[in-house]
Every structure is written in C-alpha cells, then in structure tokens.
Structure 1
Amino acid sequence: MKSLCSVLLTFCTALSSLSGAAGFHVFGYEGRDVNVSCHYDEGYQGYEKYLCRNGCGDSDVLIMTGQTKKGRYSIYDDKKARKSTVTISDLRASDSGTYWCGVTRTGKDLYNEVKLEIRQDSCCDHVTEKESHDGGSVSFSCPYESENQNNLKYFCRGTQPSTCLQQALVTSDNEHNGQFTLTDDKEIRKFTVNISSLTQKDSGSYLCGVHRNNGFNVFAAIKLEVKEWCCVKSHNMSGIVGHAVTLQCPYLPKHKNNRKFLCKGDHHKNCRDVITSKSRFSMQDDVSSSLFSVTISGLEAGDAGTYWCVSDSQWGIGNYTKIQLSVVSDITVETNSTHPSTKHVKDVVLYVVVTVSAVSLIVIFALVIACKYKRHKVQGAEVNTYRSKPNTSEEAMGGVDIYENQEVVQYAKPMKSGQQNACSQYDNEGEDQPDYENITEDIYCNQSFHQGYNR
C-alpha cells in the first residue's frame, strides 16, 4: 500500500508540475513548417531538452537533444541564448494540440506548455475584384482593427498567407518599391497600396496582410485583372502613293470641346502629333456628327503605319480610334487586284491562240503544197500538147525540172485512181469521212476546192 501511494504521489506531482507551467501559443499552416522555441533558466545549458505530447511518458517524447532529427521533428539547443527550438515540418491538421517543452533533471523535470494551432494555407472567403488597363494604375484599400494600428502592414502576391510576409512586395516599413507604394492612414485605420505602370503580367491574386503579435496574421484577398488598352474602333485602311486618303475619327459627344489630334506610332505612349508637324495633313471637325476627319494629301510610302485618333488628352480607356494605314503603288494595286482566276483565263486564251495558230500554219502549208502540185500538173498538161503521149506513168508525171524540189515530191504526190474512187465513194455515202494518212488527200477530195481553184 505504501508503494502504491508513493507512485500516485509521484504521478500527481508530475501532473501538477505540467499543468502549472507557463504556456504560449504557436500558429502554423498545413504543409508548412513551424518552430516551437522554449527558453530555460541559467544553469541548465548542459541538461537534456525534449518535446513531448499528452502525459509526456516515454512513448510521448517526440524528440530529444541527443537525436538532432527524428522523422518530421528536428531540435537545436542554443545554449548562449538559453533556448531550445523544435521544428515540425510538413504540418498536418492532426498536429494541432498541446505540447510540452521539457528539461531533464534529477527528480522532477521542468516543463513549458505550448498550444499549437494549424490552419489551411489559403485565403480568403471573400475576394475583392479589381480591373484596370495596360499602362494605367490601380489602388487597393485594406482596413484593419484599432488593436493593429501600430503593427506591420504588408502587401504580397499570391494566395498563401504562410509566405506572404517573406515575399512582401512593399511594407509599411518600406513604403516605396518600384511600381508599388504603401500609405498607412492610422486615423481611419486603413492602408492603401498603389500599383503604377500596369502590364497584363500584373494580373493575378494579391493579399493585404497585417502582422499580429499573438495569433494568425490578418489578411484580405484581392484579384486584379489588367486588360489590354483597347479602343472604340480599330480598322485597316489602304492608300495609293501620290493620291489622298481620309481617316475618319469618331469621338464621344462630351469631348466636342476637347482638342482633337492624330497621333502616329506603334503605341500611344510613344506616338507624335502629325497634324502640327506635317503640312500634308489637314483636319476637319464635324461637331454635329461627333466626328473629325484627317486628310493626307500626296501620300508617301513613309506615311504607312499606326495612327491614333484622340479626343481625350488623358488617353482614357476607350476614348480613341486606332487605324492601321498601308500605302501601295499603282502597280502593286493592279497586281494585287488581279484575281487568280483571271490569270488562269489569260493562260487558257493564250493556249487557244497558240494552238489555233499552229493548226492554221499546218493548213496553209498544205494548201501551198496543193497549189504547187496543181500548177505542176497544169504545166505538165500544156507540155503534153506539143509532144506525144508518154508510154509509162513516170513519163506522164512531167520533166525532171518540175521535181527538183524533193519536198514537193514527198508531200504532194498526185492521187492514184484508187484514191479518186475513194473520194467518190465518200461523197456518195454522205457519212463521216475517216482520218487520212496525208492531208493532201483530204484537200483533193474536197470538190469545192477544185472548183474554186479551176476558176
């Protein structure tokens, strides 16, 4: 019985020691790391330190200074500062709870109570949406509670509170950083962040953060969309060198008394007014139609480019017209206006003309051969009237001088009796005539040709 009372007394004393220790809170985010730092008194530098949970029995000890690292836990003892620090990595929701920083000593150990709270690493339930345009600026207002009036304020990009302070773009301690400016008005408990010279790359999520000495830092979520600097109208025009072209520029009725101008350049930021710098540019303003026009006379190749019709000197979004002007020569216009089908038709016509010409040449050549043959035949008949009839067919064909031209002999042989009969046969039948081996045969079968020639 005595031994049992002794054990109970020891257990009760340990619980009393644990529960009576001074405690503090630590906050962390899921998936991140957290440091649990515990101070100890002078004289305990050489003692063993550890971190435990629950009743801190042997199975509840998570890590000791002799181990340095154990699973997700690591420990470091800064004896000069008399502070032991345990780092818990890859935090989980189940890590929330009560811990004890212990110092091993003879008899009763020393303990400090630590309450660890874990949250998801995301923000927030409400998101403020903002829009702006390329080249413009935008401001965000971030209110805070009076208790945080003197605390650090900061602004970061992203949605993760755990890294926001480390990756802050601007803070209340460093109010200017490039395109970012932070202004803290403590009287109305609101700090304002301004972003200038916006580009579309600045689109995304941001966090306004307020540091707290105890507990989680306070955040407000913002989503920014930077749109392309757009225009009322945007269209293309084309002009011819040496001619005139007129650019039409509509404007808002409320700008009727504003100065209007035509600006040339790839971007409105670097364009220049051409109406005042070039005498070939003239402008007319039709207030009743809310339209001004600019006429460019004696168009030159160098006039090609991007123009901006502006009626708002502040270059407000949507208060201008963008015109892309191209300049071409007469030859270029004629060439460009030629439709591919037109070229195809020209090629077909050329082919037909060439083909017809070739056939005509062949027909003419055949007619020439036929005429020569007919002349030779007539001359041969005249000679035969002065001399006796030849005994052979070769003598009936005439003298040697008539056939000195071998080409005539080759292409203009007289028809044989069989061929004449064939001509008569086709004329009687009235059917389609077959193709002839020699075009002269076709010519001599044509009775109209003989009649015309004999005349």
Structure 2
Amino acid sequence: MRAITIIFITLCLISGQVLCFKVIGCSGGSVMFKCMYKSDEQHNSTPLNQRKSYDQFKGKYFCRNRNRDCKPGISTELQRRWVYNERFSLYDDENSRFFTVFIRNLSREDAGRYTCGNKQKCHDVELKVKNNSSSCGTSVIRSAYKGQTITFSCEYKHEFKTNTKVLYRVNGDPVLVLNSSQSSQSSEEKFILSDSQKDHFTVTIRNISAEERGVYLCGVERDGADKPPSETSNTHITFIKEIKLNVSSQITSVQVEAYISKSVFIKCKFPEEFKENKKFIQKDSSKEISVDEQNQWIPHDKVHMFDDTSAGVLKVFISDLTAADEATYRCGVNTADDHLFTEITLKISQGDHFRESSESVAVIGESVKLSCNSPEKQQLIKHICKENEKKICQSISSSEKQRFEFSDSTAGVYTASISNVSLRDAGVYWCGAETRHKNLTSVSLTNKHQLTLTMPPVIGREGDSVEIKCPYKEKLTEEVCLRSGKCLRKEVKYLCKGKCFTKDAQNIIRSDEDHDKNPKISVKDDTELSLFTVNMTELRAEDAGKYWCAMRDVFNLPLELMIIMKDAVIHEASVGGSASISCKHIRNQTQKFFCRGDQPNNCIRDGDRVSSNNRINGRFSLTEETSAGVFTVKISDLRAEDSGKYWCAEESSGSFIFTEVQLHLTRGFPVTAVVSVGLILLAVCLVLVLFKIKQSSKHDIISSDRRETGDHETAQEEIQVSDPESTNLYSTVQSPTNPSDGLLYAAVSFQKHEESRSDATVRFRKEETHCDYASVSHSITPKNY
C-alpha cells in the first residue's frame, strides 16, 4: 500500500481534457466506478510490446478536489494490484484504458467533487451520497460450513428492476465480477444469481469451500441518472448490501431438549490443539458472539459463556428459556484457516409437569435431600449444580461429588442428598438430566431449589450459661489498613434476636461495642477460624427464641436458643395403669407440646407427641386449663417401655421453653394376689396371738397333759372369720408336742366353702436349734361347674 501526495494537478488542467461525470452512492454502502486515463486512439496505436514500458511509470490517482486544490487521496504506479488507503481502493489494469476506484462504507461527508486520472488525462467526479431508504447500506453476516449450499437475497428499489444486478466478492486481489446477464442455471455453476423481478434478487453459492469465505457486495449498475445505463453512458455500480460470509467445518450435529422457564447447560469440546483459540457461539445466521475473555463467565443477554482453556471446552448457560430460544446454535472455535463448530438444534418443550421451585432448610453439619424430576422416556445421568453470584449454574467439581448422592424413588423422580452441609452450600440449586455425546454434553435443568441454612439449636438451662457460635464467610471480611501500613481484617459482626437489619430485630451484641454495659454477655471474634462467639449467662425463660448471626446486610444465619426450666417433674406409675402429668406453661397464647426424646430438639423434630393441634395420639391425650396455667397429658394402658424422659414444651414464634419429665414405672400385682397376701398376713397375726396366749399357760397345760396321758396331744383351735360374702374360713394351729424342742411346725389354713376354697399354711422348722425356715402356702379352689 502506498499513498502519494498529489502534486501534478496543474499539469492535468493545462494539457489534459477534463471530463465530468456523476457517481451516486448509498449511505453505509459502497460505490465502484472506472476512471479513464487515455483515449482509445492512444491505447490502440501503442504497440503491445511497448504498452507496459510506456504506462508503468504513468501514475494514476484519485483525490478530493475542493477549491481546485486536489487534496491527497490514493494513487498508484502499479498494475494488476489493488492499492488500499483506508476505505479507498484503486486497481489498474495495464491492458485497459481505465483504472477502477472503489470506496467502502460511504457517509454523507464523502459527498463532493473528486479528480481522477494521470498526467495526460483526468476527470472531475461528482459523488452524491443518498440516505433515503431503509434498505440503504445494510450489512449482514452469514455463516456456512463446508459442503453446504447457501442462498441470500439482495434488495433494491423497484425503479431498478430492469438494471443489471451485480455481485462482487471483495477477497483480496482481484475482485470477482458477476452479474445477472452473465449467470446461468447449470448444475456446474458455483454462483447462481437469479433476478426475481420482485424488488430483490437472490444469490446461491453451492458446495461451499474455505475459498468462498469473505465479503460480498450486492448492487445495481447505473449511470449518473436514475435511469438504466445506455451503451454510451459512463456507468458505475451502487452497492446497497454487504454480506460477510464465514465458512466453517462442522464437527457434529446434536439435538438438545430443554423446557420453558427452565435453563440449559451445554459444554462443547474441541480438539486439543485449539483449546487456546478464541471460541464463539452463534444463533441461527446472526452474528457470531465471540468470547473475548478466557477462563471467566462472559454475559450476553441471557446467554453466558465460559472459555475453559485448560479443558479445551466452551461452556454455555442459557437461563429463563422461552419459545423464542428454540433455534439452531453453533458452538465453535476460530482457527487459522477455518472455523470448527458443533451444530446444536435446541428444542424447547413445555415443562408443566416440573415444579416451578421449592425451598428447603438445612441444618449446618447435617444432611438435606432435594427432590428432582427427569424425563421418563430414557435413563439419563443425574445431575445437580449450584448457581454462582452471576446466577450461572456450574457443574459440581469432582472433589465435591462424594458429598452428593442420588437415589431413584419413582419413575421420573429422584433424590439428591447433600451431606455435611456447610456455609458454602447455601444458595440456589438446579437439578436435571445430563446427556452426553462425543463432543458435547448438555444438561437440561428442570428443578430449582432455594436452600437456606440454619445453625443447630442451642440448648441452655435456666440460670446457667450458654455459648452461641456464629461462623461467617471469610470472603465477606474486608481489610482495614492503618496509617502505619498494617492491614487488618475487620468487619462488624452482630447477634440479634430476630433477623438483623430488620425493623423488629433486637440487637443483642456487636463485635465493636463496649461489653461492660452488659456483664451477662461477652463476645470473642476469632478471624483465623472465621468464628464469632457470644457467651450468655444467667439464662431466663424469656431468653428463648430465634437469634441471627449477621455481618453487614448480606449474611444472616438463624439459630434457635431453647431454654430448659430448672425444676423437673418426676412422675411414678404402675404398668397397666395410667399416668396424668401436669405441665406448667409460662406464656399464654402459645402452642403446647408433650413429646419424648433424650434432647428437646430431637423431641420436637422426631419424637412421638401430642400438641394443641393434635390432642389425641394413640394412648396419649392432651387437655388445657388456660386459667390455671397448666396443660395435662394422660397416658393410658402404661407399658414397661413407656418409662423414660419426656418434655413439656411451649412454643411461640419459634421460641421454645421446655420442662423435663421423668416417668418411672413399677410392676403392680393382680387383685387376687393382693387379697391372698392380706389373708396370709391375717393368719400369721392370729398364729402369733394364739401362740402368745398358749405360751403364757403352757407350763400348767403341759404338766397336766403329761400326768394324764403321757402322750403327745394336739391342740386345735377353730377360728371362724366372715368375709364379705359371709362364707367361712377355717384355720388350724398345731403346737409342738415336745416343749423342749420349741415350735417346729405351725400350720394355718383357710377354707372357703361353697364357691371356692382358700387354704393358707405357715410352717416353721427348726434345724440345729435355729428357726430359719418358714413357708406360707395359699390356694384357691374354684367352685365346681
């Protein structure tokens, strides 16, 4: 390219003949015209072997001519080669009597008078630039892949329907000229130009190769007037449309199905040698959207792109899908000589059978389950991903996959479980089905979950102290630099009763306030562990409630402080009976609970219970006596396994107060056994009384008996007792016959006649002079049927 200052205009004006003609262009379009620099006589009279040496030193030029001072434009002394100067181009053919001037991207400021020619001959050219049509100077980009046939249209004004239509390809040196009068419809033609006489003509390019890429110009041939050019007119071409044609090589073609109002995540993989090359995405035949930055998400409307150079992958995330997003996309990479792309046919379907969204609350350190849907028509790989700050759903990294487990429950429904939940897990999740192809992976996301976190409940006893530990996200802290140059991470942390930074929140403590004002509360901020700890002493019932750990207005983490009252309830009952347990409550208008569990939080969450809303649950029932400030729980048909720890609880707006209840059960006896034992005890008492009486007079009785009979006699006494049914019980007491041996045997028997018989026997035996054995027997003989 060479630009030469024009200094020979005066010679042209003196020795040459100046001819004027008009060129009409379109704002935003281009023009091309021919400028003659020698006459036909001069050209034809010059021998062929002398034309080159004669003309090659004759400089050609084109310049702006204002006030007869031709300002520098473009010139050349070269033949058969395009010379460029920004938007101006000039081409000289040594075998012609003219050279060609080409001006691109016209504007209204380009209008005016120009001069073109050489030292021997020059012309004044008047350039007019019009801007009176919506189709004036349009520019489009079309893409095709190798082997494809492509057709595009070129619009023009109706007044030019009989003019010759022209297609120029601007692709270096030289310019290819094709017009409607030269085109044919043979199957061998590469380019086919068809004028439909309906204010546009079409251009078809067959079997496209890499050589066909470049810039094409659609135009009409005309003279200085708005009438068709004649054989004698000085014609030029007005270009009204510019088409940039990109030619690519297709890697593969894939269909991806997604759903209205949902999202889709696509990964396009390219050959290893192109992983550092610039990637692009293209919708239908629109302009390519290049990814100008690598290894970061780049937004473009609802399409987000990420050029992952380490993996040679272009990630594409399209959210909030609508029917208008159904199209053909090209996911590609730029190469030195070509484009490589994967064609994606995105089909958008109705997703009415998928839930819009759901909300879940997870306790830090525990697990949470998210319910997901997937298309039933085929077994697909299950997938879950989490939105980042830009609301882009990224794949779970391999280092975290062990925390996510998938299990199928029913057809089309599966569960994704997240274990050991931490602060980083809060946010929006999407789950869906993943489909894999050789060079493309797509994930149709169907279910949206909002996962919020809460701390495990903190349990304290009335009068004692408790520690509330508030973890916070390290990245929320900011460095505060002192004048000394030392920078510290400092950010005010809060503990509030109620959600911090809201109207009804009660600030309990701040990390930067004077804690001496409230000696019951102390605080410690460990920035290394990102842990803010608050110690509360002398707990009271009113301290129960929902608290929030907070930092600025971007981080609020809730937890429950549950208070256990100092006085516990101990209740004893017998197996088979019932128990009525009275529970005091402190506040009115609260929800009452009675449940079983080792810890109160487990009791509320998992334990069997009765409540104000569910007053009867099997053998448990609850009644309230509001005026007395108590509620009573009755447990009927007590069993041995009912023994254990229970909790009386009251709840108001997430504030729980508990009273511990210990239920102890003992084993009771049947009624018949109780009656029998009572009778036995009565008999024993009678034996002792009789024994006492006889002992006092035994000396006289024994002496008398021995003198009269000398034998052992049996002393009997009949005792008659009346029972409620007026039946007789009989008892026999036998004394020892040898007073020297003491009491070796005593029997008491009770006999119940008519309906039953009851016998009781008490025996005392002496072995080796010790009274160490006694037996009681009792039997009931039912009446005969």
The answer to whether TM tops 0.5 is: no
Tell me which interval the TM-score lies in, with the shorter structure as reference length: 0.3 to 0.5
Q: What's the TM-score once normalised by structure 1's chain length? A: 0.34
* Larger helix fraction of residues: 1
Q: What's the TM-score once normalised by structure 2's chain length? A: 0.21
Q: Which has the higher contact order (CA 8 A, sep 6+)?
A: 1
* Larger strand fraction of residues: 2
